[in-house]
């Protein structure tokens, strides 16, 4: 089969921007007891450019991979990168809260392992035209899945001042949210807000000099817009329970989160399902009250100092991992 010009461009870009997978050896160590099982299936819910996936397939020669990504460009790169494992790989264009549906469509009832590497990928950040970065001028897009209709430009053009303030507060923890929301509404009354350069210039002009010394003024606004465009937190709130429900007993899941909002959602669900449901004072814990999950790490783990120095992307990561102990009927 020939390769299209678009695929060639994507592969060339991937070769130039390939990154070292974060916490790779620790993720393999935690998932290994489940992935060593004969016929094991691993779902990589955030396949990206398949850095982690390639390592899992190399390390576990009998493993079958189900790679899910909402970004069709990422899937094209992953398919090419994982060609040596073609007989053991399946690719699904979907959002990661659709894991149960993806497994059923491929004839699998459950999985032995599930892996999430959350957040925006290097591929998306490096594609200038996708509009994720505040450091380069581009259309205000920010869609992880280019086939979906809502862009950052649409949000900035249609959300009320109150709605803009809400997402800047909630998803960016932006203290200047009221000021930024007001300036955006004023600006769009005069002309459309269509490029990242326009938005950055507007935000910088609205930011007091003292606040500008604390970091780039647009960072939190861009984060908030990206989360809203892709509905990242609401998807994650559905995805974690759906993933757990797709694990067989003895199966394991590892989640890498890069911001506190994501990590909070993961932590809440894992802790809830790793507690006994026995009523207080019950002298003996009955089987039906035993925790559904076992936490495999205490709290969350960070990358080592050495990894953070060699791989800057690892600095904010928080790893959480669980094993499924029983199925609640």
Is 117 known to sit in a ligand binding site?
A: yes
Euclidean distance between CA atoms 25 and 55, whole angstroms: 9
Residue 131 annotated in ligand binding: no
Identify the CA nearest to 258 among candidates 172, 319, 170, 317: 317
3-state secondary structure of 91: strand
Q: 165 is written with which tokens?
A: 């303030």
Q: 52 labelled as ligand-binding? A: yes
Please tell me the distance from the alpha carbon of residue 266 to that of residue 272, in angstroms, as a whole number: 10
113 labelled binding-site residue: no
**Beta-carbon contacts of residue 122 (< 8 Å; ≥ 6 apart):** 17, 18, 19, 48, 49, 313
Residue 69 annotated in ligand binding = yes
Asked if residue 15 belongs to a known ligand binding site, the reply is no
Is 51 annotated among the ligand-binding residues?
A: yes
Q: Do 134 and 218 touch, CB atoms closer than 8 A?
A: yes
Secondary structure (3-state) at 41? strand
Q: Which two tokens stand for residue 121?
A: 């990928």
Binding residues are 50-52, 69, 96, 117, 124
Binding residues for S-adenosyl-L-methionine are 50-52, 69, 96, 117, 124
């Amino acid at each position: 089969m020939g390769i299209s010009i678009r695929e060639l461009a994507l592969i060339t870009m991937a070769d130039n921007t390939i990154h070292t997978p974060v916490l790779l050896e620790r993720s393999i160590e935690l998932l290994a007891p489940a992935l060593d099982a004969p016929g094991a299936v691993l779902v990589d819910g955030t396949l990206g450019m398949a850095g982690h996936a390639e390592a899992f397939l190399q390390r576990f020669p009998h493993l079958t991979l189900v790679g899910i990504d909402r970004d069709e460009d990422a899937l094209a790169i992953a398919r090419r990168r994982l060609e040596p494992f073609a007989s053991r790989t399946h690719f699904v264009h979907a959002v990661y809260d659709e894991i149960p549906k993806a497994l059923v469509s491929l004839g699998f009832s459950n999985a032995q392992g599930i892996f999430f590497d959350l957040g925006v990928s290097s591929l998306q950040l490096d594609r200038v035209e996708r509009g994720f970065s505040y450091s380069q001028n581009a259309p205000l897009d920010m869609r992880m899945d280019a086939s979906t209709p809502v862009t950052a430009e649409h949000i900035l053009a249609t959300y009320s001042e109150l709605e803009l303030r809400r997402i800047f507060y909630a998803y960016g923890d932006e203290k200047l949210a009221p000021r930024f929301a007001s300036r955006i509404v004023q600006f769009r009354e005069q002309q459309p807000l269509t490029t990242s350069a326009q938005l950055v210039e507007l935000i910088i002009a609205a930011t007091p000099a003292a606040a500008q010394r604390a970091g780039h003024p647009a960072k939190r606004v861009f984060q908030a817009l990206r989360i809203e465009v892709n509905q990242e937190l609401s998807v994650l709130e559905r995805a974690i329970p759906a993933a757990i429900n797709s694990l067989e007993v003895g199966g394991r899941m590892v989640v890498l989160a890069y911001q506190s909002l994501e990590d909070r959602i993961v932590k809440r669900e894992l802790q809830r399902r790793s507690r006994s449901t026995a009523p207080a004072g019950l002298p003996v814990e009955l089987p039906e009250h035993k925790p559904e999950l076992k936490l495999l790490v205490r709290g969350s783990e960070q990358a080592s100092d050495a990894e953070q120095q060699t791989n800057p992307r690892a600095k904010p990561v928080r790893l959480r991992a669980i094993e499924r102990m029983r199925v609640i009927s």
